[in-house]
Structure 1
Amino acid sequence: MGSCSLPLFPCLSSLKMKIKPMAALTNSSKTIVPYELKRGQNRLFHKLPSGLKMEVIEQRRSKSERDNPPLVFVHGSYHAAWCWAEHWLPYFSSSGFDSYAVSLLGQGESDEPLGTVSGTLQTHASDIADFIELNLGSSPPVLIGHSFGGLIVQYYLANIVNKQSLGAENTYPELSGAVLVCSVPPSGNSGLVLRYLFSKPVAAFKVTLSLAAKGFQKSIPLCRETFFSEAMDDQLVKRYQDLMTKSSRMPLFDLRKLNASLPVPKPMENSTKVLVLGAKDDFIVDNEGLKETGRFYDVEPVCIESVAHDMMLDCSWEISADVLLNWLRGSSKLGNLHA
């Protein structure tokens, strides 16, 4: 994913401390195309140890039939919290789950760190851990990551496990579960690069043009092919194209350094329960990449028909949301998915 390779992507245990509230609402906007919140949503700012503020869009559950764990959503490259707020936050909050979508630093309405990139796997995962620790108290959430956000979730999982196995103090709060949505595999995109180059050279060229050269920002057909299904309306593609273009102000990673840090460590057995979700029409993460992630976590991945890479924004977003909801409801003792 660095200059030496073809970049296919732009893209609790119970706490005994005092819980600190998130910062108050603000009307200031860092993006040229600010996302207008839907009814029932709030834009909050969580102050990180660095002093920088991280945007959080929250939508509390509208019913509480049982004690469901909160959901925390992590976006990938060229996206921000808004990509979850469009459909999935209303859907899951109405299904009984407090839902939170974060914007990683340098994305959405979050502050920008010093430097040319917004962070590393470690800093992004630590920022998420800080938010969970100080705001969700003794309610371990389900952590849900899309694309490169899925790789950040994998790093988070590995560090919970490693700290526990070493008997060290756990600075990454416990989770009730983890969901990897069209996620970058644990080894990164190297395998994807080779497969695309040798088996799909035209697709490799298009993805490179779209993401590395940011061609998706100028072409509606290319944007649609990269992220969405063919049936997506031009006007809707243009809306998301504008949001992706303006809300991602810095690259998420230094791709060369990221590759050098991979693969993520292997979790130990009987760790957090993981769901691996893929899309049949994913233009970025191929079926072998999906299978790799499933093998790594010793689970059978679920490949959903009729949806594309951005399954939370796609015109058939309800299909994948239903699959995730059924997994959440089907897991024994929802509030304790890790048991």
Structure 2
Amino acid sequence: MSADVNKSNPILFIHGLWIHASAWDPWIDYVGRHGYTATAPGWPGDRETVALTRANPDDMNDVGIQQICEHYADLIGTPDVKPIAIGHSFGGLIAQELLANDLVAAAVAIDPAPIKGVKALPFSQLKSAFPVLSNPNNRKKAVSLTAKQFHYGFGNTLSEEESDELFEKWTIPGPGRPLFEDATANFHRSSPAAVETHDAVRGPLLLTSGSEDHTVPAKVTREVFAKYSGGVSVTEYQEFEGRGHSLTIDDGWEDVASAALTWLGDKGF
């Protein structure tokens, strides 16, 4: 891929729970060197910096999946050239929603939060979500992780030192509502975590997972992939051996970025 080739489709990066949008800055530089323009707008309630967002957690109170989807849909608008969505964790679920509604040209969902219909619920996923789901009052509040909770959910393949560095650099409070909505999705007919997996005529989708992910275990993402089986549009799956939920921000993030761009190039983007 050559940096002197300007790609027509811009990239829209979407962060997940507990990680600030600025964590995508190295990715924006990376894809820029490969000819793409890119942006990484935050969720509703996010402030411009990690420090400001930490200082104003109430701005994210009661922000849910539908509101986040509508936020990005409004940002996209109706451009002549649709963007490509690359999302991590809940950002990966949002990317799938945008793709299914034909708002983006293609999507890469990295360790995506499960969509409605997924039944796998490994222990590590429950433990990772416990800081929020253990208290029903968290549904309408923003909740912060501790360094220890981050190490288990995100940095379990990293040393405590590296995990703590990432925690201090990138983490922010996250609204509890998306986790409650996702956890109860299979019990609600009109869940905001529902994604059309079969009949949507849309661009290609890549689902990826880290084999050691605690927050969204690979088993969960493989089940998401299976739900797309037989659909009318292209969906593919890729797994990163030995990687955890921090794979977009830890030392090996460029391997994940390279794989995403290689896949996009193979699909003509």
Contact kept? 1:307, 1:314, Cα under 8 Å: no
Give the counterpart of 2:252 among 310, 316, 319.
316
Give the counterpart of 1:130 among 74, 81, 85.
74
Contact kept? 2:60, 2:175, Cα under 8 Å: no
User: Closer, same or farther in 2 for the Cα pair 1:128/1:205, shift >3 Å?
Assistant: closer
User: Which deviations, in whole Å up to 9, do the C-alpha atoms of 1:9-65 show, x marking residues without a partner?
Assistant: xxxxxxxxxxxxxxxxxxxxxxxxxxxxxxxxxxxxxxxxxxxxxxxxxxxxx9441
- Structure 1 or 2, whichever has the larger Rg, is 1
Alignment length (residue pairs) = 243
Contact kept? 1:70, 1:141, Cα under 8 Å: yes
User: Closer, same or farther in 2 for the Cα pair 1:267/1:124, shift >3 Å?
Assistant: farther
Asked if residue 207 in structure 1 is aligned to residue 128 in structure 2, the reply is yes
User: Closer, same or farther in 2 for the Cα pair 1:254/1:210, shift >3 Å?
Assistant: closer
In structure 2, the residue matched to 1:69 is 9
User: Which deviations, in whole Å up to 9, do the C-alpha atoms of 1:48-85 show, x marking residues without a partner?
Assistant: xxxxxxxxxxxxxx944143411001111112212211
3-state SS in 2 of match to 1:276: strand
3-state SS in 2 of match to 1:293: helix
**Stretch deviating more after TM superposition (311-320 or 259-268):** 259-268
User: Which deviations, in whole Å up to 9, do the C-alpha atoms of 1:124-178 show, x marking residues without a partner?
Assistant: 11211111127xx322111111111112222223333xxxxxxxxxxxx4x2201
User: Closer, same or farther in 2 for the Cα pair 1:215/1:271, shift >3 Å?
Assistant: closer
Contact kept? 2:100, 2:201, Cα under 8 Å: no
In structure 2, the residue matched to 1:53 is none
The structural deviation recorded for 1:318 is 1.7
In structure 2, the residue matched to 1:168 is none
Contact kept? 1:311, 1:317, Cα under 8 Å: yes
3-state SS in 1 of match to 2:263: helix
Asked if residue 225 in structure 1 is aligned to residue 165 in structure 2, the reply is no
Larger fraction in helix: 2
* Code of the aligned partner of 1:255: F
Asked if residue 191 in structure 1 is aligned to residue 191 in structure 2, the reply is no
Asked if residue 117 in structure 1 is aligned to residue 62 in structure 2, the reply is yes
3-state SS in 2 of match to 1:73: strand
For residues 16 and 60 of structure 2, the distance between their equivalents in structure 1, rounded to whole angstroms, comes to 19
For residues 129 and 230 of structure 1, the distance between their equivalents in structure 2, rounded to whole angstroms, comes to 34
In structure 2, the residue matched to 1:181 is 110
The structural deviation recorded for 1:216 is 4.3
In structure 2, the residue matched to 1:273 is 204
In structure 2, the residue matched to 1:95 is 34
The structural deviation recorded for 1:204 is 5.8
* Code of the aligned partner of 2:83: P
Within 5 Å, give how 1:1-339 maps onto structure 2. 63-85=3-25, 87-109=26-48, 116-118=61-63, 120-133=64-77, 137-160=79-102, 173=103, 175-187=104-116, 191-193=119-121, 195-196=122-123, 203=124, 206-209=127-130, 212=133, 216-219=145-148, 222-228=149-155, 230-232=157-159, 234=161, 236-245=162-171, 247-248=172-173, 250-251=175-176, 253=178, 255-256=180-181, 259=185, 260=188, 261=191, 262-268=193-199, 270-298=201-229, 299-332=235-268, 334=269
Q: Provide the identity percentage.
A: 23
User: Which deviations, in whole Å up to 9, do the C-alpha atoms of 1:224-246 show, x marking residues without a partner?
Assistant: 23212534461x4323323455x
In structure 2, the residue matched to 1:22 is none
3-state SS in 2 of match to 1:191: coil
For residues 312 and 151 of structure 1, the distance between their equivalents in structure 2, rounded to whole angstroms, comes to 16
User: Closer, same or farther in 2 for the Cα pair 1:254/1:233, shift >3 Å?
Assistant: closer
TM-score (norm 2): 0.77
Contact kept? 1:105, 1:113, Cα under 8 Å: no
For residues 178 and 33 of structure 2, the distance between their equivalents in structure 1, rounded to whole angstroms, comes to 34
For residues 95 and 143 of structure 1, the distance between their equivalents in structure 2, rounded to whole angstroms, comes to 16
The structural deviation recorded for 1:256 is 4.5
Unmatched 5+ stretches in structure 2: 135-142, 230-234
For residues 258 and 132 of structure 2, the distance between their equivalents in structure 1, rounded to whole angstroms, comes to 29
3-state SS in 2 of match to 1:79: coil
TM-score (norm 1): 0.62
User: Closer, same or farther in 2 for the Cα pair 1:104/1:230, shift >3 Å?
Assistant: same
